Amino acid sequence: MEKRVAVLPGDGIGPEVMAEAVRVLEVVGRRFNHTFHTEYGLIGGAAIDEKNNPLPKETIELCESSDAILLGAVGGPKWDQNPSELRPEKGLLAIRKHFDLFANLRPVAAVPSLIHASPLKEEIVKEVDMLIVRELTGGLYFGKPSRHTDQSAVDTLVYTREEIERIVDKGFELARLRKGKVTSVDKANVLESSKLWRKIVEEKKVDYPDIEVEHQLVDSAAMKLITNPSVFDVIITENMFGDILSDEASVITGSLGLLPSASVRSDGLGLYEPVHGSAPDVAGQGVANPAAAILSVAMMLKYSFGLETEAAAVEKAVNTVFEEGHFTADLAGKDQRALSTKEWTDKIVDEL
């Protein structure tokens, strides 16, 4: 297979973890006989510094001619005082919008050797393996009117049938690649938009007879995520519910430096990035944990290129290296030697 990948390292630890993610991608290419062409583009603060624009048109063109996008992180104190159109985060919002990346995917799975880092009890966490599928381009965050005065304020929650159908289809398709269960999260006892959402899930499930479907109200789902998170496989939900639940879920397994994410649309194009930000406090020291960026490569292989075996090999390498007791500074114990970003990736490369 031959694919083109746009690499947007961004700011802070972004370039450090992206360099290692690309190295892993190249190793996967060699081992499994694929050619991945990587080309670099500017985004965020780095793009503001060079082009006075957080998402320059050269970057958009690069992404348009690519099969997938890998992104590091954007932002940092250097640009905090910039006017709003020159903020690094604008680049990220703009690229999601430009490419209509309506589905945000966040897997949360227990890593056996890191369960001690979870705030929850081991027996609650150890079977956790879920994927949250959040609608990203509609709902309450984009509804008009949206305004406030001193005396009143309004936000609007609108979903069209088409917007709901495409995210629901995405969730069902992803469940087929996993354990075959979909939990649709809504507030159908109160919200009209949720009533339509639930109706469409019921219509759609006829097309996916192999998938088990359940509905849950968002308040109850929030509770289950803490009391019994291993019951979930794929969760599909609207934008704001997904925002809240995915942050809640991200703490279950205990470490921000481990979590990858994807923002995708129906034709396979996707943007893959670590959940963590640019971590300015550790940037430039070569100590950042590259696991989230490397696992984002695994998501790209699986969801944009359909390379499930290759993705599983990367995930397995990460688990094995942790099991062997190799950690970067964020995870190493007090009396353990922490590996640098590069040294830890060397272990992954050896494993692959």
- Residue 277 is a binding residue for ligand ATP (CB under 6 A): yes
Cβ 196 vs Cβ 182: under 8 Å: no
Smallest Cα–Cα separation from 71: which of 43, 51, 104, 46? 43
Task: Indicate if 243 belongs to the active site.
Answer: yes
Alpha helices per DSSP H over 88-206: 88-98, 122-125, 161-176, 192-204
- Residue 330 is a binding residue for ligand ATP (CB under 6 A): yes
Residue 138 contact among Mg ion, ligand ATP, none, beta carbon within 5 to 8 Å by kind? none
Catalytic residue, from 90, 170, 187, 302: name it: 187
From residue 144, give the alpha-carbon distance in Å to each of 100, 134, 154, 163, 295. 18, 20, 9, 16, 36
Handedness of CA 271, 282, 248, 232 (dihedral sign): positive
Cβ 324 vs Cβ 339: under 8 Å: no
Please select the residue that binds ligand ATP; options are 288, 301, 313, 318, rule is CB under 6 A: 288
d(CA 242, CA 233): 15
Smallest Cα–Cα separation from 192: which of 153, 233, 238? 238
Catalytic residue, from 186, 243, 302, 303: name it: 243
Largest CA distance in the chain: 63
Please select the residue that binds ligand ATP; options are 170, 198, 265, 276, rule is CB under 6 A: 276
Stretch that binds ligand ATP, among 40-48, 204-212, 280-288, 319-327 (CB under 6 A): 280-288
Please select the residue that binds ligand ATP; options are 59, 289, 304, 345, rule is CB under 6 A: 289
Of residues 66 and 261, the one with the C-beta less far from Mg ion: 261
Q: According to the annotation, is 239 in a ligand binding site?
A: no
Q: How far is the CB of 237 from ligand ATP (least distance, A)?
A: 21
Residues binding ligand ATP: number (CB under 6 A): 15
Position closest to Mg ion via CB: 277
Catalytic residue, from 199, 247, 316, 350: name it: 247
Task: Indicate the length of the chain as a whole number.
Answer: 352
Give the binding site for Mg ion (CB under 5 A): 277
Give the binding site for ligand ATP (CB under 6 A): 13, 73, 75, 256-257, 276-279, 281-282, 288-289, 292, 330
Show which residues are catalytic. 141, 187, 219, 243, 247
